[in-house]
Amino acid sequence: MKVLVIGSGGREHALCWKLAQSPLVDRIFCAPGNGGTAEMAENVAIKEDDPTALLHFAKREHIGLVVPGPELPLTLGIADLCAEANIPCFGPGAHAARLEGSKSFAKAVMLSSGVPTAPFAVFDDFTRAKDFVTDKGAPIVIKADGLAAGKGVVVCRTVAHAVNALEQIMVHAQFGPAGREVIVEEMLVGEEVSFLAFCDGNNVVAMPASQDHKPVGEGDTGDNTGGMGAFSPAHVLPEASYAHAVEHYIRPIVETMRAGGHPFVGILYAGLILTEAGPKVLEYNVRFGDPECQPLLARLDADLAAIMLACVNGTLDQKEVAWKPQTSVCVVMAAKGYPGAYAKGMTIGGIAAAETDPAVKVFQAGTKLEGGKLVSSGGRVLGVTALGDNLSQARERAYAAVDKIHFDGAVYRRDIGAKGLKWEPR
């Protein structure tokens, strides 16, 4: 069958790479793709925010499976359009995708489903929000309700900071229409962990826990990014806890969606924070995380296309989903200046040398082919991913590979996965 992967980042390169290993898949297209996806897929010049054009392409090419990588095409209804055209699409419809597209919607579903989360209030009026924050005090968290490219959450240590954040979001439209409503919630303290699951609208199969590194600087300092690296498994949430996590943070949402007539198909991603009072859900995503996707797929020991089709067909309970016992680490190499302004067009070298280690795969994110050369085209450029028998070995292999890769101004964190070393047996 033909597969259409939607997106252009490291997550989409990893999806194409894993789908290409399936005996079910004859040909892969990626829209719009990048320099890495071009190795095993045909890049198509259609943007992820154009569901109508994506559907027309899927019809014309007789696509047997559509795989949206990012959240935007899902919130814009690509899965609904595919369903109307009888084209299998691995992802939720627009209504269920609001679990990521609207934080107030997600919070309301959490409350009705009994999922533990931070106390919150929702506002569409700046003055009322300001009065609430002044009364509550700080620290406090301000969140734009809609999609804000991962930048719509502000942790405020003082009331003045919170009021300024509200003004920027609600009055000055810092995040555009995403900030018409805001969520003001209690700040939770604890270690964060990503818990993802395959869903077919009824059945749920958990993935191993993973842990992302959002701040740009080592020691979790500096501005937040799309993610500077990730590793799996995250031993802060051990495998013995997965069943509990499914029953308390995943299945209640799946059941609520099904009961409301909007069964959740695809990946439900619970962003958990492990507080002293127990785990609580910070947010839900409705797709693979990036970069969590890279170390997870490096460990997946099963046919991804078959799993995705089982989710679409409601037969996930009949599909075995196995994982390699190894640990995986993904180190993001970014352009200097990211997540702020950064240069583009730097020639990238050394990937082939890095991949001489069979345990290493370099997933490309912000890259493109230009005049036969691979050059940078985004802030996060590469996701250097390695497997190891334990976290220490996986980190060593990943950083050894990083040292073989070069482009002008490359920056990366040297401590990806270091927080997990304390859980390793000595």
* Domains recognised in the chain with CATH numbers: 2-93 (3.40.50.20), 125-180 (3.30.1490.20), 191-423 (3.30.470.20)
Is residue 425 scored above 80 in pLDDT?
Answer: no
For the whole model, what pTM was predicted?
0.96
| 392 touches 362 (CB < 8 A) | no
Is residue 297 scored above 80 in pLDDT?
Answer: yes
Kindly give the residue spans of alpha helices, DSSP state H, lying in 88-158. 94-101, 103-113, 126-136
Is residue 426 scored above 80 in pLDDT?
Answer: no
Whether the upstream peptide bond of residue 208 has omega within 30° of 0, thus cis, is: no
Is residue 71 scored above 90 in pLDDT?
Answer: yes
| 287 touches 68 (CB < 8 A) | yes
The region, left, alpha or beta by phi > 0 then psi within -120 to 50, assigned to residue 134 is alpha
% of the chain exceeding 90 in pLDDT: 95
Is residue 108 scored above 80 in pLDDT?
Answer: yes
The whole-number pLDDT of residue 151 equals: 77
Is residue 152 scored above 90 in pLDDT?
Answer: no
Is residue 150 scored above 80 in pLDDT?
Answer: no
The whole-number pLDDT of residue 390 equals: 97
Task: Say what the alpha-carbon torsion angle 238, 239, 243, 247 is, to the nearest 10 degrees.
Answer: 40
The whole-number pLDDT of residue 81 equals: 98
Integer CA distances (angstroms), 229 to 96, 187, 343, in order: 28, 24, 21
Is residue 245 scored above 80 in pLDDT?
Answer: yes
Residues 98 and 180: their CA atoms lie apart, in Å, by 15
Average pLDDT of the segment spanning 191-198: 97
Residues 224 and 312: their CA atoms lie apart, in Å, by 34
Residues 110 and 106: their CA atoms lie apart, in Å, by 6
Mean pLDDT of the chain: 96
**143: which 2 tokens?**
């969140």
CB atoms within 10 A of CB 68: 32
% of the chain exceeding 70 in pLDDT: 100
Can you name the residues that pair with 184 across neighbouring β-strands? Answer: 121, 142
Q: Buried (b) or exposed (e) across 313-345, using 16+ Cβ within 10 A?
A: eeebeebebebeebbbbbbbbbbeebbeebeee
Is residue 19 scored above 90 in pLDDT?
Answer: yes
CB atoms within 10 A of CB 389: 11
Residues 407 and 414: their CA atoms lie apart, in Å, by 17
**How far does the chain reach from its first CA to its final CA, in angstroms?**
47
Phi then psi for residue 415, to 5 deg, are -120, 20
Please name the residues in contact with 153: beta carbons below 8 A apart, sequence gap of 6 or more: 141, 142, 143, 144, 224
Integer CA distances (angstroms), 366 to 8, 246, 270, 416, in order: 8, 34, 26, 20
Proportion of the chain in helix, strand, coil states, percent, rounded to 5? 35, 30, 40
The whole-number pLDDT of residue 148 equals: 85
User: Sorting pLDDT into bands at 50, 70 and 90, what band is 57?
Assistant: very high
| 301 touches 208 (CB < 8 A) | no
The whole-number pLDDT of residue 223 equals: 85
Kindly give the residue spans of alpha helices, DSSP state H, lying in 117-189. 126-136, 159-166
